[in-house]
Structure 1
Amino acid sequence: MNIYSFIIMLIGMGIVTYIPRCVPLLFLAKHRKSEKLNKWLQYIPVAIFSALIFPDIFIKNQQLVLLDVKILISLVVFVVALKSKSIGISIMTGLGMFYFLGR
């Protein structure tokens, strides 16, 4: 592959990833959203984050695991996050627990 093909491919990939992110934002910015839609949109980041991290916590060797150090750490971090309402404290708690439990 020569450099020109690579640059064209890189630009094409950028456009293909930019359009699906930009179009909904442009559409939603121009139209008035209902309260119901706003409430529904608030749950999207939590759902995406959960979908990303749950497999790492609960799946090991393609099997569901219910007793593991990751689950213990996740539960402790969840409680700390609820009590402190601080992402920094929650992250430091999780990192500290991973360090001390020898993950």
Structure 2
Amino acid sequence: MIGKEYYAVVAGMGIVTYIPRLVPVYFMSGKKLPGWFIEWLDLIPAAVLSALLLPELFTTGVPRIFTLFSPETIAAVPTFLVAVKTKSLGVTVITGMGIYWFLDIIVK
């Protein structure tokens, strides 16, 4: 049987997850944000994506070692070009997976 501590932990996690989302909405709703701030907020998705992708593309191993010509990096270049040209997520994913699969076969 699940104890009271379990329910307290789950409730605490819910509160800790919900409050950081509620506070900005509560205090900022109905307020006009400056244009520079909105432009800055628009950059956040690109910054997060870069922070997630670049270490995976250009480093390997533990500790992380810089590698320029890994299969991931080589596959990323044409995949990026296909993404820019087609603007289709499906075509981009299929292209990236196909190129990476092909490079994986050649390298091994």
Same fold, judged at TM 0.5 (above)? yes
> Which TM-score band (shorter chain)?
0.7 to 0.9
Structure 1 residue 93, shift from structure 2 partner? 1.2
Written as runs of structure 1 = structure 2, the 5 A alignment for 1:77-92 is 77-92=79-94
Structure 1 residue 30, shift from structure 2 partner? 2.4
Q: Over the residues paired in the alignment, what is the CA RMSD in angstroms?
A: 1.8
TM-score between both structures, scaled by the size of structure 2: 0.81
Is the radius of gyration larger for structure 1 or structure 2? Answer: 2
Q: What is the alpha-carbon distance in structure 1 between the residues aligned to residue 68 and residue 18 of structure 2?
A: 39
1:70 corresponds to which residue? 72
1:99 corresponds to which residue? 101
Q: What is the alpha-carbon distance in structure 2 between the residues aligned to residue 27 and residue 93 of structure 1?
A: 44
Q: What is the alpha-carbon distance in structure 1 between the residues aligned to residue 25 and residue 68 of structure 2?
A: 39
Written as runs of structure 1 = structure 2, the 5 A alignment for 1:7-26 is 7-26=7-26
Structure 1 residue 17, shift from structure 2 partner? 1.8
Structure 1 unmatched runs, 5+:
none
Aligned AA (2:80): F
Equivalent pair of 2:82/2:92 in contact (CA under 8 Å): yes
Structure 1 residue 45, shift from structure 2 partner? 0.6
SS of 2:81's equivalent?
A: helix
Identity of aligned residues (%): 35
Q: What is the alpha-carbon distance in structure 2 between the residues aligned to residue 27 and residue 43 of structure 1?
A: 22
Q: 1:88 to 1:25 in 2, by over 3 A?
A: farther
1:5 corresponds to which residue? 5
Paired residue total: 102
TM-score between both structures, scaled by the size of structure 1: 0.85
For structure 1, which segment, 89-98 or 62-71, has the greater mean C-alpha deviation from structure 2 after superposition? 89-98
